[in-house]
Chain A
Amino acid sequence: MDLFEYQGKQFFARYGMPISDGEIAFTVDEAVAAAERLGTPVMVKAQVHTGGRGKAGGVKFAATIDDVRSHATSILGLDISGHLVGRVWIEKASDIAEEYYASFTLDRSAKKHLGMLSVEGGVEIETVAADNPDAIAKIWIDPVDGLDEAMARDWVGAAGLPEAAVEGTVTILQQLYRAYVEGDADLVEINPLILTSGGRVHVLDAKVTLDANSIFRHAEYAVYDETQTRDERETAAHARGLQYVGLEGSVGVIANGAGLAMSTVDVVNQVGGNSANFLDIGGGANAEVMAGALEVINNDPAVRSIFINIFGGITRGEEVAKGILGALERVDIDAPIVIRLDGTNADEGRAILKPHLSENLQMAPTMLEAARRSVELADSVEEKVL
């Protein structure tokens, strides 16, 4: 779960980190009212779940209320890499002397937490890593030990931060680590962490990704789930509890198991087609789950054919076949369907499907063959439409 910048800052503030006063605004008038309460100068910042806001014109300095009005007008509704700006964060402008970078994330390879700190903040850390890797001080933290003050101090020393920034940064890093661990975050990043001309260390941006698996111990994260960026199809699938990712193609994919679903998308691509989605219906394949999956796919106007790829493990072929037929009774499907059914009692399952087969409900013996058939069908429907 990705947090908007302002949500991330509010999250950080709970752990004592210093953030600027600010307010969220959904309209130009709200932005202006917020700026009047805060007092100019302020920053007007687009809230989107993607990077590159500054370059896209989504972050602007406003010296006056008129500036706030004109910037909010241009930023609200702006398209930043496919993300429409629906809200702006208005915050007191800061007086920046220096910009740093700080983050924690899991190093899956080392199986430890990785902290990164750099005096080269304000630019993308990938750029720093490529151009000047020595400018990033890294620390690997054993989750059992955690990060204590002495470790934080050594780390800040290794990063070469100026004396004026040391105390403030040591404190913020410990707070940031606590937020990362106690908050069950996949990533916490401050870029930039600034030193003001007044000599204070201050959090100027916040990027936070939370682990959706940890919701059971963070009931308050339901708020963030509601503000995730999802397209219409993803929202519909999410509501049905399906693992769905929207893609750009025309072959709708339904499979059981994440690996098989990924593999299905790959195979469609290998035979010259493009999948409209990744959809994992999980281990079983009963009529209800299958019907939900078909509804989601059917509502996608880009779908020209549907490839159902099921491998029966514990779930037997007969149950899968009955599930598919039951689902087809419940949902009117526009696009032709190709089924590949394999695994436990596949023959029995195929026998159940056989009397129902038609031009719009086909069966193929292998994954590759089913993929080819789906792509052919999608192409022929496309020609008809044209």
Chain B
Amino acid sequence: MSIFIDAETKVVYQGLTGSQGRYYGLLNRDYGTQVVAGTNPRKAGTDVDGIPVYASVAEAVAESGATASCIFIPAPGVRDAVLEAAEGGVQFIVAITEGVPAHDEADLFNRLKRDHPGVQLLGPNCPGIISPGQANIGITAGHIALPGGPVGIVSRSGTLTYQALYELREKGIGCTTCVGIGGDPVPGTSFIDCLRAFEADPETEAVMMIGEIGGSAEEEAAEFIAEHMTKPISAYVAGVTAPPGKKMGHAGAIVSGGRGTAAAKMDALRDAGVRVGLNPTEAGEHMADIVSELTTKRS
């Protein structure tokens, strides 16, 4: 099992004919993802290395049975692309593009909630999602991830997500699904959405969480964990030494008015029973401990 995507997920790539879309679309197909279609209104009827291109997501859904979409459209077009995907009938939308204005994201989030409550948006500005051995949608290097579980990963940061996957693989620990939710101010999918899904997934036995400074998503996740999570969790929060008022790369990664500090987030997570590492390696070691305890308990 996995969350959000599996071997059956059929994906349409919006922007498949662009350089990024083509590169990652084909890499994802090589990984085993069912890349069934691309869209581009000006290139409908053509194909990208055998993948048919349609004028719209609605057409791609009708013709190819796509159930998810992956967006590699430049930032100015992302808002419309997401709405097109939702209206076109896919249930899961992954928006990789960075640099989307916060007002577009806020508008999208509320519009989807109102008009398409069944649709889950991941991103924008995220590395995507991988259920190792089943499907990889986005820009994660697939071979870093070891299939088979029992760990689910959810992360706000791209490279730290890879780091987490890598540390687990080095220890021989597999992953059910790894979700990169992205570091923007209004992400479509939150820590809580992923935690809830991992809690419900029978194959996921533990969760590794990677947060960063800014906002209060980690604090809210901590509250959810305390109340609803029975599965053990390890976590890392980046940006302990970040000075207030300076954006650390991600649009959302900023400590402002004394809020959103890494220390406060780590405290909240610790209070909720999460094993917090002071660096990614330590969080990986905590997860290795958790997995070996789970194994001992079973035997």
B residues adjacent to A (C-beta < 8 A): 27, 75-76, 99-103, 106-107, 109-111, 114, 139-141, 143-144, 155-163, 166, 183, 185-186, 210, 212-213, 215-217, 220, 236, 238-243, 246-253, 257, 262, 278-281
Assess A108 versus B252: contact at CB under 8 Å? Given A245-B246, A259-B160. yes
Indicate if the CB atoms of A367 and B279 lie closer than 8 Å: yes
Indicate if the CB atoms of A266 and B279 lie closer than 8 Å: yes
Q: Which residues of A in the span 281-336 have a Cβ within 8 Å of any Cβ on B?
A: 283, 311-314
Indicate if the CB atoms of A258 and B248 lie closer than 8 Å: yes
Which A residues are CB-close (under 8 A) to B99? 213
From residue A272, how far is it (CB to closest CB) to chain B in Å?
12
Alpha-carbon distance A245/B27, docked complex (angstroms): 33
Indicate if the CB atoms of A259 and B141 lie closer than 8 Å: no
Indicate if the CB atoms of B242 and A259 lie closer than 8 Å: no
Indicate if the CB atoms of B212 and A262 lie closer than 8 Å: yes
Which B residues are CB-close (under 8 A) to A120? none
A residues adjacent to B (C-beta < 8 A): 106, 108-109, 111-113, 126, 142-144, 181, 184, 186, 211, 213-214, 216-217, 243, 245, 247, 255-263, 265-267, 269-270, 275, 278, 280, 283, 311-314, 342-344, 366-368
Which A residues are CB-close (under 8 A) to B213? 262
Q: Considering the complex, give the chain B residue whose CB is closest to the CB of A274.
A: B241
Alpha-carbon distance A245/B248, docked complex (angstroms): 7
Which A residues are CB-close (under 8 A) to B109? 111
Indicate if the CB atoms of A143 and B216 lie closer than 8 Å: no
Report the 8 A-B pairs with minimum CB-CB distance, sorted nearest first: A259-B157, A258-B249, A257-B159, A259-B160, A260-B159, A313-B141, A214-B101, A262-B238
Name the prevailing secondary structure of the A interface residues. Answer: mixed
Alpha-carbon distance A48/B27, docked complex (angstroms): 48
Indicate if the CB atoms of A266 and B215 lie closer than 8 Å: no
Q: Considering the complex, give the chain B residue whose CB is closest to the CB of A257.
A: B159
Which A residues are CB-close (under 8 A) to B243? 245, 247
How many A-B contacts at CB < 8 Å in the complex? Answer: 163
Across the interface, A262 reaches (CB within 8 A) one of B161, B166, B253, namely B253
Indicate if the CB atoms of B157 and A213 lie closer than 8 Å: no
Alpha-carbon distance A262/B241, docked complex (angstroms): 8
Which B residues are CB-close (under 8 A) to A106? 102, 106, 185-186
Alpha-carbon distance A248/B131, docked complex (angstroms): 41
Residue of B155, B157, B162, B262 with most partner-chain A CB within 10 A: B162
Alpha-carbon distance A142/B250, docked complex (angstroms): 24
Q: Considering the complex, give the chain B residue whose CB is closest to the CB of A278.
A: B248
Which A residues are CB-close (under 8 A) to B100? 213
Which B residues are CB-close (under 8 A) to A266? 238-241, 262, 278-279
From residue B234, how far is it (CB to closest CB) to chain A in Å?
15
Indicate if the CB atoms of B27 and A314 lie closer than 8 Å: yes
Alpha-carbon distance A126/B241, docked complex (angstroms): 23
Across the interface, B216 reaches (CB within 8 A) one of A108, A181, A265, namely A108
List 14 interface pairs A-B (beta carbons < 8 Å), by A numbering: A109-B216, A211-B103, A213-B102, A217-B101, A245-B247, A259-B212, A262-B213, A262-B238, A265-B239, A265-B241, A270-B279, A311-B166, A313-B162, A314-B27
Alpha-carbon distance A186/B247, docked complex (angstroms): 13
Indicate if the CB atoms of A213 and B101 lie closer than 8 Å: yes
Across the interface, A259 reaches (CB within 8 A) one of B101, B183, B241, B246, namely B183
Indicate if the CB atoms of B241 and A269 lie closer than 8 Å: yes
Which B residues are CB-close (under 8 A) to A181? 103
Q: Considering the complex, give the chain A residue whose CB is closest to the CB of B188.
A: A111
Alpha-carbon distance A368/B237, docked complex (angstroms): 16
Alpha-carbon distance A143/B114, docked complex (angstroms): 12
Alpha-carbon distance A368/B282, docked complex (angstroms): 10
Assess A216 versus B158: contact at CB under 8 Å? Given A144-B107, A144-B110, A311-B166. no
Which A residues are CB-close (under 8 A) to B216? 108-109
From residue B166, how far is it (CB to closest CB) to chain A in Å?
6
Indicate if the CB atoms of A366 and B281 lie closer than 8 Å: yes
